[in-house]
Amino acid sequence: MLRDINDAALLAHIRKLPHGRASYKQLIKELRVSGDDRAKLDTSLDRLAGLGEIVEIRSDHFIAVAENSEYVTGKLTLHRDGYGFLIPDRPLEGIAGDVFLPPKEAEKGMHGDRVLAHISRQSREGRAEGEIVRILHRAHTTVVGEFRVKRRGNFVIPSDERIQQWIEIPEGLEIPRGHTSRDRVGASAPDAKSVEDLDGMIVNTEILEFPENGEGPVGRVIEILGYPDDFGIDVEIVIRKHHLPHEFPPEATEQAQRISHEIPPDEMTGRRDFRSLDIVTIDGETARDFDDAVWVDRLANGNFALHVHIADVSHYVKPGSPIDAEALFRGTSVYFPDRAVPMLPVELSTDICSLRPQEDRLVLSALLEIDRQGAVVSRDFTKGIIRSAERMTYTNVFRALEGDAAMRDHYRGFVGRFELMRELALILNRKRTKRGSIDFDMPEANIELDLEGQMIGVTRSERNIAHRIIEEFMLAANEAVAGYLEDASIPSLYRIHEMPDPKRVSDFEEIAAHFGYSLGVGAIPVRKFPIVQRKRDGRKVRKDLSLPREDFAISSRNYQKLIAKIAGKPEERILSYLMLRSLKQARYSNENKGHFALAATAYTHFTSPIRRYPDLVVHRILTHYLDERQSLLDEEELHRLGEDCSFTERRAAEAERELIEWKKVRFMEDRVGDEFDALIISTAKFGFFVELTELFIEGLVPIDTLADDRYLYHEPTRQVIGVRTRRTFSVGDAVRVRLDRADAAERKLQFAIVEVGPKRGKRKKR
């Protein structure tokens, strides 16, 4: 019987039992386990326990965590003061927010670890306190930090301030053997002949012993990076802090170097030849890898023919190959202001797969016929070969479309097609808008660097019509592929964006009301959770905890209408920013749950296989179906891929964001004492955060620096209010601030109020 039961089936069996409980003897009897099968059962139980799916509450007695409210799995996040929180993997009935972990419990793990905890205490308000039962997954097998020589030993102080424990480096493990220099970023790490030479240097350490029973971690130095102020050290620290794979294994590099640049004649068989068409790529000025090329024509019936040609990476990167294994491990390319960490070796990403001009390239093409209303009336997908006629940039296409005479003359053979592209893009955009697609057209910060990689300024990076053209065409191709695979009932990987969390919507509505706006969803309905508490005398008291209901009615149109109302208003940026925060994060999934922000019933990522692994997976699924008319991957494989790719995407985004914030702080170090116009973007018990109006730079105004009165945080209105003066600081207020402190080590800026801009509400009477 056991031969037919895998881990998932065993877990399902335990979960369906009363209270999700089972004993070892019970499982042997019910599953008819005998002989050698007992070892398989033991292994499966150990695996499920290691994943946090079950807990052995006493010898040979197990419970399913999902069926028991006393246990919870989640991510450990630590505070600098020593305590921590567990962020649950799933919502907990009767518990509001995260699970608090006192210092004694928090020190059992390290920031980012996935842990299993037991709920030890619960308040009548639904706040929970827990005890760590087991570390399920270690987030940090290596830690980057500054090496320090102390009288009581040698230590590495982690660069990540959330990792509180210093890492002890025992004698003899301080100097790595055969460490690699940092010549890839323009400088070499200095050699360390002695432990004293290492003092004050940035090193990467491998954890040999994790914190346990009050003892700190122990490790060894595996890499010397250099001094804190060395050129490029910030990038190196961020790469290692976020555990970004940044060096290709030899077998992947060797495989990439063996791939021929020549397309064999037999590969042309079965591929459509598009080389006679004036297909172009349109990218940013600094782009080096070109995933996509486009072509548009008007058909005899008045409809548009849209070709979206995507680099056929799947032809070169086969499942299970060394390059594929590394690409899956990386998940995505990571882009920093002064360098990139590519998903694929450069031989592929910037050469063989990149759709370079005047060179034959293999593609997977989406051929769409679109009517005058923007509806796709036919779709076809095929393997093809193209020869890009021109490498265009957003700036040059925009200038040509805006009437720049020199640019129109230089690209006179393409101008008519660019104008046709603009016409189609605007039609597609109107159709998306009509169905409720949300468009946060917010200006982004463009970081300007000098030759040494130091930030020298910030400019507004505005999108123009050329950006819109490519964006609309890629959206159309992605939707077409998703719809095609969905209609064919072929298991695939979708890009989903779920309904926003009711509580976050409620929080946004409270703030928007201060500006006189609303999403128009009305009162957010709530559901009640029973909480049973035991009084000192032993009596049990039932209390209902009210939380926003998950099935409340909201549409992307609610967001779309509010965006239109605030367009051009002073409060547009702050409200757009807060609306974005109220939405969930998009992710990859084998379940098609639609895309809320795009108001799309089916959406996937198909157009960037050079830099995103999910796109490569979708290419394989699509080409296999075109060739074999059957599915390639099952739901379980796709679920695992979706989880992995969502994680690597978040990891890359966090690393990119952190490096930019670090460079911003460095940029502001010489501006301590300067004054700036700013906008309050959030408030808290300890103060409020401001964003500098012109620089897209954020910092904190601590509440204890407001010297004219004693200020308190008023939770219901999210305002910082003076006790005596009743002076208020609210989200959206314009203020004048002075930079008091720039701490590059902690990536933080601290400001003080100079003067307050005009208030939006009336001052309260005393």
Interval 34-53: pLDDT, tens:
777 888 888 888 888 888 88
Query: What is the average pLDDT score of the chain?
Result: 88
Residues 367 and 261 in one domain: yes
pLDDT of 612 reads: 98
pLDDT, average across residues 535-559 = 59
Q: Is the pLDDT of residue 439 over 50?
A: yes
| Beta strands in 371-427, from DSSP E residues, in sequence order | 376-387, 390-393
What is the three-class DSSP state of 380?
A: strand
How far, CA to CA in Å, does 721 sit from each of 81, 321, 699, 704, 739? 26, 61, 19, 12, 22
In this structure, how many other beta carbons lie within 10 angstroms of the beta carbon of residue 695?
18
Name the percent of the chain lying above pLDDT 90: 59
pLDDT of 178 reads: 52
Residues 162 and 291 in one domain: no
In a domain, 667, yes or no: no
How far, CA to CA in Å, does 369 sit from each of 300, 311, 380, 476, 483? 12, 21, 9, 11, 15
pLDDT, average across residues 198-209 = 94
Q: Is the pLDDT of residue 537 over 50?
A: no
pLDDT of 222 reads: 93
pLDDT of 218 reads: 95
Name the percent of the chain lying above pLDDT 70: 91
pTM over 0.95: no
Q: Is the pLDDT of residue 194 over 90?
A: no
Closest of 418, 420, 446 to residue 282, by C-alpha: 418
pLDDT of 24 reads: 87
pLDDT band at 2 (very low <50, low <70, confident <90, very high): low
Q: Say how many domains are in the chain.
A: 6
Residues 302 and 366 in one domain: yes
Q: What are phi and psi of 524, to 5 degrees?
A: -80, 120
CATH number for the domain including 111?
2.40.50.140
The secondary structure element, H or E, covering residue 577 is helix 572-582
Residues 619 and 699 in one domain: no
**Structure-block tokens of residue 526:** 């709530």
pLDDT band at 185 (very low <50, low <70, confident <90, very high): very low
CATH number for the domain including 215?
2.40.50.700
In a domain, 590, yes or no: no
Residues 282 and 415 in one domain: yes
- Name the most confidently modeled range: 61-65, 167-171, 500-504: 167-171
Q: CA-CA distance, 150 to 148, in Å (whole number)?
A: 6
Environment class of residue 494 by beta-carbon count within 10 Å: exposed (0-12), middle (13-18) or buried (19+)? buried
pLDDT of 5 reads: 65
Residues 104 and 155 in one domain: no
pLDDT band at 225 (very low <50, low <70, confident <90, very high): very high
**Given 222, 241, 260, which residue is the final one in a domain?**
241
In this structure, how many other beta carbons lie within 10 angstroms of the beta carbon of residue 642?
21
pLDDT of 183 reads: 39
Dihedral, CA atoms, 29, 35, 37, 39, nearest 10 degrees? 110
pLDDT, average across residues 122-138 = 86
pLDDT, average across residues 142-170 = 92
CATH number for the domain including 16?
1.10.10
List, in order, residues 6 or more apart from 531 with CB less than 8 Å away: 94, 122, 124, 126, 542, 543, 544, 545
The secondary structure element, H or E, covering residue 11 is helix 7-16
Range of the domain at 27: 2-66
Residue pLDDT, tens place only, 72-100: 888 999 887 888 999 988 777 767 778 99
In a domain, 246, yes or no: no
| Full DSSP string of 229-244 | TSTTHHHHHHHHHTT-
In a domain, 685, yes or no: yes
In a domain, 764, yes or no: no
Max CA pair span of the chain: 90
pLDDT band at 60 (very low <50, low <70, confident <90, very high): confident
pLDDT band at 301 (very low <50, low <70, confident <90, very high): very high
Q: Is the pLDDT of residue 300 over 90?
A: yes
Residues 149 and 175 in one domain: yes
Q: CA-CA distance, 392 to 286, in Å (whole number)?
A: 11
pLDDT of 745 reads: 77
pLDDT, average across residues 622-651 = 95
User: Which ranges constitute the DSSP H helices of 445-489?
Assistant: 465-487
Q: Is the pLDDT of residue 212 over 90?
A: no
In a domain, 665, yes or no: no
CB-CB contact of 623 with 383 (8 Å): yes
Residues 34 and 156 in one domain: no
**Structure-block tokens of residue 342:** 């590519």
Residues 417 and 345 in one domain: yes
At CA 676, angle to CA 672 and CA 680, rounded to 5? 110
Residues 460 and 385 in one domain: yes
Closest of 176, 190, 289 to residue 222, by C-alpha: 176
Q: CA-CA distance, 232 to 663, in Å (whole number)?
A: 11
pLDDT of 717 reads: 83
**Given 557, 583, 609, which residue is the final one in a domain?**
583
Lowest mean pLDDT among 376-380, 381-385, 475-479, 730-734: 730-734
In a domain, 596, yes or no: no
Q: CA-CA distance, 424 to 475, in Å (whole number)?
A: 13
pLDDT band at 763 (very low <50, low <70, confident <90, very high): very low
- Name the most confidently modeled range: 42-46, 264-268, 611-615: 611-615
Give residue for tokens 């827990």: 130
**Structure-block tokens of residue 245:** 């794979």
Choice between 551 and 253, residue whose per-residue pLDDT is larger: 253
Residues 290 and 402 in one domain: yes
Choice between 91 and 205, residue whose per-residue pLDDT is larger: 205
In a domain, 529, yes or no: yes
CB-CB contact of 425 with 465 (8 Å): yes
- Name the most confidently modeled range: 30-44, 221-235, 538-552: 221-235
Residues 168 and 213 in one domain: yes
**Structure-block tokens of residue 468:** 């819109």
**Given 95, 112, 137, which residue is the final one in a domain?**
137
| Beta strands in 312-359, from DSSP E residues, in sequence order | 334-336, 339-341
